[in-house]
Structures are given as structure tokens and as C-alpha cells.
Chains A and B, each alone.
Chain A
């Protein structure tokens, strides 16, 4: 048993949902108790998807546990098939359903539906979300591409002469950190290199398209968290090599281009020469001098943390004082990069431990997840988000990839802006008495430690015009219950109401008379 306040990853079935929701024509029937449907809102609210995730839950309750929950599962699955008519169905259990051992896979097969049924075994009490996404993708690819595998030992036929080299892009899911835009950026890059993209999966792929995965010459693994296991299987089964470099930052993008060129047997010179990022010049521009040696703490999933640490050190000139990940699977990579920059590695999914480490290291910038954004806010440190777990603001309206040359431009803007705010905050901190910053609020939404509430009462009297209405103590106390960010407006409205109605002394009643008067 482990005490958790916040978690970096959800349970593994949420990883499966990220794969199912990313794909087309696939439905997921999940044996789960009432309440587990909360996961839908991750997709409809955080990612703002205009449709429900393709997931049907059994939502059993205590009264169902005394009856045949297996029958409930079968009925749910049959109804889901009739209603949605998917190309294929995945079946599985959430943590509670795992305990009642109904075997959704076995039950699913007995229904005899005329479509493929892929059973998922995702052990909820051992594994987490990223593992669940990876395992789900692997099971799907094995189920759909597997039947097209050549006999073991068959060597891969050479590409037909004159035919463009081709690849698949593996890894992007729903609810991924900037996956939507990374895919566009990398497709453009591959196109410029003259490489044809056959299948992008899971994002956007149908089960039928997965059957074609073996046809491409090689695989581009954008998110090893989701796709590395699958890519290894494809390599073994179809003889398809895959990329190892994740193209985040200018250096990694160049390395990625060279790697792809080698796998495709083409000349990378063109793609390396044109369309460079603005990052190198912006970093060399004299106004960036102040960035030199800024102390930065990096935390995220393995891939993004490693990439961010390298970019921070080599492309921004920051000093990496700490780097870590919540995903033990990537501990080795993260330790290696920490050693490279003489920083300490932190491998932990304990939010409090991460917070303590940040507080101890006192960095000037945190590159982390939404969780570190909260930590940084509390500690008054600037922060940019570089990795899942994501929040609604990690789905920006504008095109903002993390990968490729445009991705490097995005990194430049996102990482430097919290630091620029620093100057402004000094000014705000110097003039803390400013009437617009009450309640001991931090100097801005970006940081500055929350200070103690001002000891002196708010200047009620000063806010009253000499000939204006005055406030009774009770009314003033009541006013303070109004959230501080609208309190000023409430005060002004009440006073103007009092003036209009010839009320000399504002009582609680006046306050609410005015509130009702100005309602809407």
C-alpha cells in the first residue's frame, strides 16, 4: 500500500483507452464498476474531443455482484457491437473487475461476434497507464499485423527500384502531450526527405490499416513509451528496423534526419540544409546572455525528460541541476543523461518527493509536467510543461509541436517566457502594496511565493469617497467573503448602488440589494 496525493499516471486501462480513442473503427468494452466512466472526461474535457471515447463500460454495482456479472459483460458487449458496429472490439477489465475474475476475454470469444475480439490483460495493481498503452498497442498490432508475417527466417525483400522509401509512424495516442502536432511536423519532415508515410498508429489508424504495418521499409518511433515494444516485435517479425532518436530539439532533429536517411538509403543534405529552426540564432543573440547557466530542473516521462535535459544544456545554455522521471522503465536513460550533465537523477512517482527535491535544488526554471507546474507555482519558480500528464492548456489552439524544427521554435518560446516574467515580478514584488494585489496573492500567476495575508485591514476607509457611503464592519466582513478577484467590482457596484439610492451606510442588506440589482 502506498500513499499518493497526486498520481503521474492513471491505471493501465486508461492507457488502453488512449489507444482506443486514438484509433478509428475500434471499440473497447470495459468491465468496470460504476464511476470508472470518469475517464471519459479526460478525453472530452482535457483534449476537448467532440465525441465520446469509443468505450462501453459495464458499470456494475454492489447488487450486480450477487448475480451473474459475466452475463452483464456479455450483454454489454453485444449491445455495444449492435450499436457501434466497429471493425474490432477490445475487451478488458479495470482494477475492480480484475478482482472479480470474470475473464472478459473468454466471455468475449463465446459471443461469436463476426468481428475480431482482442482481449487485454492489464494488471492494475502492478502496472500503470503508459505500460497499459504500450501493451494495448502491442496486442493490437500482433492481432492484426501478425497474420501477415512472413515465415520466420525469411529475409526482407529489397525495395523495388524506383519506389520511394516508406515508413510507419508509431506511438501517437489520444491525450498525448502535443502528439497531434508532432505527427504533422514529422510527416512534413519525412515528406521533405522523400520518405512516404504508410501508416500512422495508433492515432488515426483503423484495425484494417494495422494489418498493413509490415509493408513499410522501417518504423519511426516517436513515443517509445507507447511504441518501443511494438517496434521491437515488428523488427523481429518483419525485419523492419526502427528509429532510436526522438526528434526533440535542433540537435536531435538533425540526428533524426541522418538516422532516417540511413534507414531509407537517401541523402539527408537537403533536409539538413533547409528550414532550420530559429532556435540556434535566438540562443546566440546577445539578449539571451542572461539565460546562461540558469539552473533548471527537468522532470517528465522518460523520453521528454531526457530530451529536455539535452536541449536545455546544449541549446539554451542552461545548467541542468536535476533530471528525473516518474516512469521506472526509463530510469536507465534518465540516469545516463543526469550523469552526462553532472546532475542527480530522481526516479520517483511520489509527487511529494519531487516537490522536496525541487525545493532543495532551488532551480530558476522547472521543465516538468502539470504536477511540477503546481509545485513551481507554489515555490514561486517559473515553469514550462514538457510532458504528460497533461491538462487542458496542453492542447493549444495554435500549431505547437515539440518535435522537429518548428518544435524547437516552440520550445524556445515556451521555456524562455516564464523567465522573462521574472523581471516583471521583481517590480511587482517591490510595490507589493499595489491595490490590485490583495490577499497575499503571489505577484502573478506565474509564481512568486505566496506571502502572508496583509496584517492591516484592507483600506476600507480610503476606498470611500469623502462624501460617499460608508461601510459597516459587518458589511465589510461580508464583502471579504467575495473571492478577491471580483471583490473590487463588488465593492464598486455596491457603492454606486448606495449612491444612486441615497444610502449613506452600507449594511449587509445593501450589499445584497446591490448584488441582486447588478445580477447577471
Chain B
């Protein structure tokens, strides 16, 4: 697991929250299931389709979680299990095949189909991996069919993306023996961010650079012992593990949120590829300085304010680190659905010591703690935001943080703005 190459250095050399105790809670978890990741994944991989094998609840979640329905016909759908499938009156596998036939007939542009497992499909033990290989044989070579679990019993929100990417790892070609070192950036990023990072790596002389997931199913990058991987998202435990099994070495770094996170993240790659410090400085100086200047404008209004994170996407720790170190905010509690200590090590080290870390959730008790702490800003999901606002607390909906380009230098100020806006709005309103 820990083949990580330690390159990112903590500038302050402080331990931060590296060894901090974690409040672990079991109770009602007010979080999405892993199916929700399909909302961004289906836009990212442009010739892929996501077929949830589930219930009406799954379909209803998908159209409710996005907040709005998407204008174009989405590249996802649900095969809704009914009582005939459950009573054994219909063979669920035959039924699934018929649904896939209908779907691929309607969408001949689809090159990659994911069968996505849900709570009900898993409880009735419908074997989607067998279904995927059966259907793959039938539709080869036109369509590749993979499967993964996005169920709530197995995954919390962004873990769905982790499972999706993990299902693609065995499909990645092996890099040829003796191939030179290559960089693999793992985790969905907005296309514009991906383009910026690619340019930055070019300027640093780092390459070839691959991205997982790719924009098209046929563009899966190669992986092998010469692969150095940078995680662009903090929720990719299983994907990283499988890539490591295929020889990739993870570069340890904080996540590329904020100026500092981006610099250390790029630096991890630069060090691994032997980029001279002087060249790194030359390439990053200008974007870093302008991003610093842009972020600094938020400091006046944000410094000293307290912030409380409810668990949501696993982005909470790097976000809290950014708010603390670049905006001077005070994280009170940082909740995360799942804490991956080694992937999060560099960010934890930079998080101010004394911050309460919590993993899992008992939402009622967490709400009690939140009300008692009376933070200046609460970062939480859509189910909690309006009730907290009505109780007088300022909130930032966390789902926006996974639907918005926030990584890299050019987005650092946008990220600050996302947190500043609810507070700015309250200052403006006189009613």
C-alpha cells in the first residue's frame, strides 16, 4: 500500500493534525451513496454510459441529487428491478440483457457501458461482473462493458468514482518494458483544469502525462512500473491500490487545492521527474504569484472566521487546510465520511493542530456540536443547509465543491470565492 515516494515537504515542518485523534461516530449518516458520482462521471467520459441496476429509489436519487435535470439526454439510466425479478418470475439476467440491448440500440455512440450495482442489486446478489463479461462478449468489439458498485451499503458519495475508476484499471494497457517514466493524474477534473495542468507539466518538461478517467473510453493511459501517479482527488483508495498493484508509484503530496496545495502537488511531480528547482520556480512563479494575490483579497474578510465541516466528499480535510492556511480561517470540526490516513498525510500535517477530526457520522449529535460551536460558516450537504440557515448559521453546500473547477492555481481564487460568497451575501442582505 505505501509505495509512496515522499517528496512533498511540509514548509512549516509542523505535525499539524498528523497524529490527531479521530472522533469516530456511528449513527444516521446524512450523505449520498456512490451512485451520485455518475452525475459528473457521465459528462467526463463522453462515450460512456452508466446503467444503474437498481430500484425506483436509485432513479429518483439521480434526478434529485443533481438539483436540476440535465438539459440533454443524460448518459445514464436505471434498470429498475420489479417484483417479477424478485419473485423469480423473470430471470433477472435475461431482463438485464434485454435492457442493455434496448439501450445500446438507442445509443449506438456508446463505446463503454458501466453496469452500476446498487443496494437492492447487491442484497439480492445479482452478479453484475458475470453479466458484464457475458455482455462484453456479445457486444465486442463495439462496446466494452464493465461493472462497479455505487451502492449506499458499499460506498459513500465519492467512493462511487473510486470504484468506477478502479473498474477501469484492469483495462489500462501495460506500458512497454523499459518505458521511460510517465505521469498519471488520477481523479476526475474539469476539462479546463486538466488542460491547464497538462500545459504546466509540459512547461516543466514532465511527460508523457496521462489522465484517469480519460475523456474518451479509447484513451485509457498505460500503466506500469515506470508510472508515477498523482492523485488529483482524495477519495481514490481502491483505484490507487490497484494502480500500485500494477506497478505505479504514488507521489505523496497535498491535494491541488489552493496555491500551496497546487505548488506542493506539482513539486511532487517535479521532484520525481528530476526537474531542477530553478526551472520549477521559473514555471510556477507567475501563476503562483497571481493566484496568491487573487486569494489574498479574500483574507481580510475571512481571516479568523470559524468553519465546521459535515462529512460529504472526503475533500473536507484538504479544503479545511486551504481555508486555514491561505485564508486564515479556524476549522473547528472537520468531518469526513472516511479517513484515508496515508493519502491524507500531507494535508493532515498542514491542518492546524487542535482541529477536531471526525469520521463517519451521527448527524443529530453532529448537529448538536455544530449548534454549540456556532461557527461562522458550515460546510454541509443539501439536506442540512436550509435548516441550518434558518437557524441563523451561514452555510456552503458541499456538493458545489465537486461540481465546480476548484483545483490548480487558476481556480484558487474561485475556491476562496465559493466560501466567501455565502458570507458576502449575508452582509448584503438587509431583510
Contacts and interface: CB of A to CB of B under 8 A. Distances in A.
Interface of A: 1-7, 9-11, 13-14, 33-42, 44-46, 48-52, 56-62, 65, 76, 79, 83, 94-96, 99-100, 123-126, 128, 370-371, 374, 377-378, 391, 478, 481, 508-509, 512-513, 515-517, 519-520
B74 A11 contact: no
B192 A481 contact: yes
Contacts of A509: 286
A10 B62 CA distance: 11
Interface residues of B, number: 81
A125 B286 contact: no
A65 B59 CA distance: 23
Interface stretch (B2-10, B150-158, B180-188, B261-269): B150-158
A7 B77 CA distance: 10
Contacts of B414: 519
Contacts of B78: 3-5, 7
A57 to B, nearest CB: 5
Interface of B: 27-36, 53, 55-57, 59-61, 63-65, 67-69, 71, 73-74, 76-83, 85-86, 90, 92, 95-96, 98-99, 102-103, 119-120, 122-124, 151-154, 156, 191-192, 195, 199, 286-287, 290-291, 293-294, 297-298, 364, 381-387, 389-390, 410, 413-414, 417, 420
11 contacts: A1-B85, A34-B31, A34-B33, A37-B31, A50-B386, A58-B28, A79-B27, A95-B120, A99-B123, A125-B85, A517-B290
A125 B420 CA distance: 45
Nearest to A56: B28
B83 A126 contact: yes
Given A5-B73, A45-B386, A125 B287 contact: no
Given A61-B152, A62-B154, A481-B191, A44 B386 contact: yes
A96 B120 contact: yes
A1 B96 contact: yes
Contacts of B68: 391
What 3 pairs between A and B have smallest CB-CB spacing?
Answer: A35-B33, A35-B152, A50-B390
A370 B69 contact: yes
A11 B55 contact: yes
A519 B82 contact: no
B201 to A, nearest CB: 15
A10 B56 CA distance: 6
A478 B294 CA distance: 20
Contacts of A391: 68
A519 B297 contact: yes
Quick one: which of A48, A125, A516 has the most chain B CB within 10 A? A516
Contacts of B122: 62
Nearest to B67: A45
A94 B383 contact: no
A128 B192 contact: no
Given A44-B384, A125-B81, A3 B103 contact: yes
Contacts of A11: 55-57, 60
Contact of B417 (A39, A517, A520): A520
Given A33-B152, A41-B65, A126-B82, A3 B77 contact: yes
Contacts of B85: 1, 125
A519 B81 CA distance: 48
Contacts of B74: 5
B187 to A, nearest CB: 20
Contacts of B293: 516
Contacts of A39: 60, 64
A366 to B, nearest CB: 15
Contacts of A34: 29, 31, 33, 152-153, 156
Nearest to B35: A35
Contacts, number: 219
A38 B28 contact: no
Quick one: which of B60, B124, B151, B154 has the most chain A CB within 10 A? B60
Residues of B contacting A: mostly: helix
Given A95-B57, A519-B417, A38 B294 contact: no
A10 B78 CA distance: 13
Nearest to A512: B410
Contacts of A508: 199
Contact of B56 (A35, A128, A520): A128
Contacts of A100: 123
Contact of A36 (B83, B152, B387, B410): B152
Contacts of B192: 481
A366 B26 CA distance: 48
Contacts of B384: 40, 44, 52
B291 A1 contact: no
B382 A41 contact: yes
A481 B195 contact: yes
Contacts of A62: 122, 151, 153-154
A483 B413 CA distance: 18
Contacts of A5: 73-74, 76-78
A517 B413 CA distance: 10
A14 B60 contact: yes
Given A42-B64, A123-B83, A516 B294 contact: yes
A520 B298 contact: yes
A44 B385 contact: yes
Contacts of A36: 33, 57, 61, 152
A38 B55 contact: no
Contacts of B56: 4, 7, 9-11, 95, 124, 128
A35 B31 contact: yes
Given A51-B387, A83-B364, A516-B291, A374 B71 contact: yes
Given A6-B63, A59-B29, A124 B119 contact: no
A37 B383 CA distance: 8
A371 B390 CA distance: 30
Contacts of B57: 10-11, 13-14, 36, 94-96, 124
A10 B420 contact: no
Contacts of B77: 3-5
A1 B420 contact: no
A59 B30 CA distance: 8
B126 to A, nearest CB: 10
Contacts of A14: 57, 60
B139 to A, nearest CB: 16
Given A4-B78, A10-B57, A391-B68, 10 more contacts: A2-B79, A10-B56, A33-B152, A34-B156, A35-B31, A40-B383, A41-B381, A41-B382, A44-B384, A516-B290
Contacts of A517: 290, 294
B119 A125 contact: no
Contacts of B417: 519-520
B119 A35 contact: yes
Contacts of A10: 56-57, 60, 64
Given A95-B57, A519-B413, A48 B364 contact: no
A312 B199 CA distance: 58
A97 to B, nearest CB: 9
B46 to A, nearest CB: 15
Given A44-B382, A100-B123, A4 B59 contact: yes
A122 B68 CA distance: 28
B199 to A, nearest CB: 8
A370 B293 CA distance: 44
A44 B119 contact: no
A51 B390 CA distance: 7
B32 A38 contact: yes
B383 A38 contact: yes
A58 to B, nearest CB: 8
Contact of A33 (B27, B79, B153): B153
A125 to B, nearest CB: 4
Contacts of A515: 410
A94 B290 CA distance: 51
B80 A59 contact: no
B388 to A, nearest CB: 10
A335 B179 CA distance: 69
A397 B210 CA distance: 49
B325 to A, nearest CB: 18
